[in-house]
Amino acid sequence: MISFDEALRRVLEIAAPIALETIAFADAADRVLAEPVVARLSMPRQDVSAMDGYAVRDCDLGDLPVRLPLEGESAAGTPPGQVLPPCSAFRIFTGAPVPVGADRVIVQENVEREGDCVAIVRPYGPGRNIRIAGSDFCEGDVLVPAGRRLDWRALTTAAAADQPVLRVFVRPNVAIIATGDELATPGNAAGIPGTIPESVSYGIAAFVRREGGAVLWSRRSADDTRLLSELAAAALEEADLVIVIGGASVGDRDLSRTMFGEAPDYIFPRVAMKPGKPVWLARIRGRLVMGLPGNPTSALVTARLLLAPLLAGLCGRDAARSVTFEDWRLAADVPAAGDRETYVRARITPEGALPLGSQDSSSQASLLDADLLVRLRSGGSAFQAGDYVPAIRF
């Protein structure tokens, strides 16, 4: 059994991208860039109006009111290159190319239309209301760096680069196997004595997707050696990462470590943490296999702390950044951890991190309110309300 810090170090050491691929921009949402997105054009491509109004020459303005004949119009999408004659004005709209010769846009609120002429009747201020060509970015600029996940903000910026395809990291394919004789599909447990709804695999599947992995399949099996061996063989054949939920302890029916038909090549066999001691990570036939505890809280805590950085690295993101602890003020007293590093579930309140009443590893109802995992080092002393402690977003 190793410490959490050592387990995390080993995860970070192996969490490397699987491969690269080229995809159409339309398919890029939530993917991680393997190469930076470089602008193919400048933005704006030419000087454009920042407001609806009238394009004029500064030299044609004097004491108000000033009357100028209208000689044209420019709207967004109008080809650039129109010329503004001296002593005249152009009707212009936001985003439209500024005609050659114009050096100011007077906003329409300061102008009155008089047939084919306009009268500038109110003071227009010092602003020119023109966005200069390349003022946002220039052709050849890196708009989105490699390693960035294309969330809704990054995707918008990347689209402005006008690239038809992008180089991204391949998503790891993940197979999930939930084990246990007592498990039933949600909706069926009430009619089957001795069973409980199987809940953890649904949460882990959603977690994998949120962290960028692709869930190939998620299946449940009784504690039957033959059935589990068949699932294990299929998972090793198809997936980059296999997640086994439950059966990670040392009882006669704890089969997750033997279902693969050979001894795991452990990256770590157990971790000195509470909850989550049975968590393990190994290589089997060239695939990564992570075993998570069967208790819901234990499984989700270990997923947040150890599966999250593994998936981040496999997807091409900075794995270390996915496990960042910050100092939080405690809103209530917390007892000492004991001989194992302990992660206390807490809720964010105006007063700080408030530990939840139930810290049982099998608890599910309290998961809904858990915003933070407060880290308590083994052998440390108790903490008082008002003390600052390290915690990670849960």
Write down the H helix ranges in the chain. 4-14, 152-159, 200-210, 225-238, 296-302, 308-315
Average pLDDT over residues 205-216: 97
The CB density around residue 327, as the number of other CB atoms within 10 Å, is 10
The number of C-alpha atoms within 13 Å of 261 and in the hemisphere containing its C-beta is: 12
- CATH number for region 326-393: 2.40.340.10
- % of the chain residues with pLDDT over 90: 88
- Tokens for 279, please give them: 């968590």
Structure tokens at 377: 């080092």
Domain covering 20-43+144-169, topology: Molybdopterin biosynthesis moea protein, domain 2 (3.90.105)
- The predicted model gives 31-56 an average pLDDT of 98
Condensed to tens digits (0 to 9), the pLDDT of residues 88-139 reads 999 999 999 999 999 999 999 999 999 999 999 999 999 999 999 999 999 9
Q: Which residues belong to CATH 3.40.980.10 in the chain?
A: 4-16+171-322
Whole-prediction pTM: 0.88
Start and end residues for every CATH 3.90.105.10 domain found in the chain: 20-43+144-169
* CATH H-level, domain 4-16+171-322: superfamily: MoaB/Mog-like domain (3.40.980.10)
Domain with CATH 2.170.190.11 in the chain: 48-131
Those residues whose C-beta lies under 8 Å from the C-beta of residue 290, and which sit 6 or more positions away, are 241, 242, 243, 244, 279, 280, 281, 306, 307, 310
At residue 137, the pLDDT reads 98
CATH of segment(s) 48-131: 2.170.190.11
At 250, the pLDDT band (50, 70, 90 cuts) reads: low
Q: Identify the pLDDT of residue 122.
A: 94
Say if residues 318 and 312 touch (Cβ distance below 8 Å): yes
* pLDDT at residue 249 in the model: 61
Residues of the chain with CATH 2.40.340.10: 326-393
52-56, 214-218, 359-363: least confidently modelled range: 359-363
